Amino acid sequence: MELLVPVLIVFALSMLILLGVALYIPQRRARRRATSAALPSTTPPATAPALQTVEPLLETPEPSAGRLVRLRARLSRSQNAFGRGLLQLLASDQLSEAVWEEVESTLLTADVGVAATDRIVTRLRARTAVLGTRAPQELQQMVLAELTAALEYADSAAAAQGQTVAFDRRLRSDRHEDRPAVILVVGVNGVGKTTTCGKIARVLVADGRSVVLGAADTFRAAAADQLQTWGQRVGAGVVRGAEGADPAAVAFDAVAYGAREGADVVIIDTAGRLQTKVGLMDQLSKIKRVAQRHGEVDETLLVLDATTGQNGVAQAKVFTEAVQVTGVVLTKLDGTAKGGIVLAVQQALGIPVKLVGLGEGADDLAPFDAGQFASALVGVTE
Ligand code: GDP
């Protein structure tokens, strides 16, 4: 009996120790698994020619909501004359043929384009005749409503008959279950492509997404450097190639790297300096094809410089033949009185303007909104 008590105590203690070990080991394993899942791999991509992920002082970009309201003054400054001119004309004592012709030429001067101008003037004529409207404020509201409708809908003719199919302006940038969303950015040299890639990265980072930038403009080392600086400012990784490297390979590596790192979005900047249309078409379609080996490209954005007016529309047509463009970014709208180009581009291409560039500042890029844009065009301040 005397012996039994210590034996029982030793036995109980051993059981307690064994139980503790049994409970502790699985917990430790689980903790280790959780830590390794949370840590992104820091190994650079095997195939990527060069990669820089950056730590230094990160900036906090502005949220994208409400940007067009903030930047509207930039637009109004250059467009007010257009709005005032229209209202003065419409407020004439007699809405004669001559006045309507003037209204038409004012719209054309603002680059609204022939088809859209025709439609707007026809509807304004009908409405002023039926309603007998003469008060400046009513006229202003009428012009505003016509412009908003013309900007909002994919086909204003259909809209006039009550079939309102508004353009879908959402930027398709939602991560897929197993891979990042991919945005391809195309356009001729100098329109603001690289700047736009950087600005879009900031919009996405501001909305809480992780971004990788791919510098597939390998013709110009400066373009890749520029992109790298944009990336550094918001902590986005940049995949770049040696000068003259195959742009399609860089695009492929960028998407592969983004997928490995669990990034939400990969944005690919491309070159636009190809001399021949055939060369351009070949290269862009190759970049897109190769990038798509990982999965569909979600968004192909065509960047157009608003100051080039109707030339931009002709340029756009070449690109739409090479790749299927899903959205337009109209840059430099702060530097032109031809805001009507938005309408012309949408009507000619049947593709929505999704973003507008209103300055050289890092956050001077805004999601497009038809109502706000039309108000700025006609000088309504609300
Ligand atoms: P890329 O050759 O198409 O890549 O053009 P860049 O991105 O290098 O831009 C060319 C120039 O346009 C740069 O000086 C930019 O700062 C300027 N830029 C780009 N977007 C805008 C904009 O919305 N407004 C103004 N005023 N300048 C812009």
Task: Give the whole-angstrom CA distance, residue 245 versus residue 247.
Answer: 6
* Residue in 269, 109, 102, 252 with CA at minimum distance from that of residue 189: 269
Task: Give the whole-angstrom CA distance, residue 62 versus residue 65.
Answer: 9
* Contacts of 199 by beta carbon, 8 Å cutoff, 6+ apart: 230, 357, 362, 363, 364, 365
Atom of ligand 1 nearest to the CA of 364: 23
Q: Is the C-beta atom of 357 inside 6 A of ligand 1?
A: yes
Task: Count CB neighbours of 10 within 10 A.
Answer: 10
Atom of ligand 1 nearest to the CA of 190: 2
From ligand 1's centre to the CA of 360, what distance in Å? 7
Atom of ligand 1 nearest to the CA of 220: 2
Q: Is the C-beta atom of 193 inside 6 A of ligand 1?
A: yes
From ligand 1's centre to the CA of 191, what distance in Å? 6
Q: Is the C-beta atom of 198 inside 6 A of ligand 1?
A: no
From ligand 1's centre to the CA of 201, what distance in Å? 15
Q: Is the C-beta atom of 194 inside 6 A of ligand 1?
A: yes
**What pLDDT, on the 0 to 100 scale, is given for residue 374?**
87
Q: Which two tokens stand for residue 35?
A: 């830590």
From ligand 1's centre to the CA of 359, what distance in Å? 8
357: exposed, middle or buried (Cβ count in 10 Å: 0-12, 13-18, 19+): buried
Q: 249 to each of 253, 262, 270, how far by Cα in Å?
A: 6, 20, 12
Q: What is the largest CA-CA distance in the chain?
A: 123
Task: Count CB neighbours of 251 within 10 A.
Answer: 31
3-state secondary structure the chain: CCCHHHHHHHHHHHHHHHHHHHHHHHHHHHHHHHHHHHCCCCCCCCCCCEEECCCCCCCCCCCCCCHHHHHHHHHHHHHHHHHHHHHHHHCCCCCCHHHHHHHHHHHHHCCCCHHHHHHHHHHHHHHHHHHCCCCHHHHHHHHHHHHHHHHHECCHHHHHCCCCCECCCCCCCCCCCCCCEEEEEECCCCCCHHHHHHHHHHHHHHCCCCEEEEEECCCCHHHHHHHHHHHHHHCCEEEECCCCCCHHHHHHHHHHHHHHHCCCEEEEEECCCCCCHHHHHHHHHHHHHHHHHHCCCCEEEEEEEHHHCHHHHHHHHHHHHHCCCCEEEEECHHHCCCCCHHHHHHHHHCCCEEEEECCCCCCCEEECCHHHHHHHHHCCCC
* Contacts of 38 by beta carbon, 8 Å cutoff, 6+ apart: none
Strand partners, 303: 329
**What pLDDT, on the 0 to 100 scale, is given for residue 41?**
31
Q: How does pLDDT run across 220-270, given as a tens digit for each residue?
A: 889 999 999 999 999 999 999 988 899 999 999 999 999 999 999 999 999
Task: Give the whole-angstrom CA distance, residue 290 versus residue 293.
Answer: 5
**What pLDDT, on the 0 to 100 scale, is given for residue 259?**
95
Would you give the end-to-end CA distance of the chain in angstroms? 97
Task: Give the whole-angstrom CA distance, residue 140 versus residue 364.
Answer: 28
Task: Give the whole-angstrom CA distance, residue 227 versus residue 254.
Answer: 13
From ligand 1's centre to the CA of 104, what distance in Å? 31
**What pLDDT, on the 0 to 100 scale, is given for residue 56?**
53
Query: 67-90 and 136-152 are packed helices; what angle lies between their axes, rounded to 10 degrees?
Result: 130
CA atoms within 13 A on the CB side of 210: 14
Atom of ligand 1 nearest to the CA of 331: 23
Sequential pLDDT tens for the chain (382 residues): 566 666 667 666 666 666 554 544 444 443 333 322 222 333 334 344 455 544 456 888 888 777 887 777 777 666 666 777 777 787 777 788 988 998 899 888 888 888 888 888 998 888 888 877 667 778 788 888 888 988 988 765 565 566 667 899 999 999 999 999 999 999 988 999 999 999 999 999 999 999 999 999 998 889 999 999 999 999 999 999 988 899 999 999 999 999 999 999 999 999 886 556 778 778 899 999 999 998 889 999 999 999 988 788 888 888 888 899 999 999 999 888 788 888 888 988 889 999 999 999 999 999 999 998 888 888 776 5
Return the residue whose CA atom lies nearest to atom 11 of ligand 1. Answer: 192
**What pLDDT, on the 0 to 100 scale, is given for residue 299?**
97
302: exposed, middle or buried (Cβ count in 10 Å: 0-12, 13-18, 19+): buried
Query: Mutation test of ligand 1: which of 274, 301, 360 has the most ligand atoms closer than 8 Å to its C-beta?
Result: 360
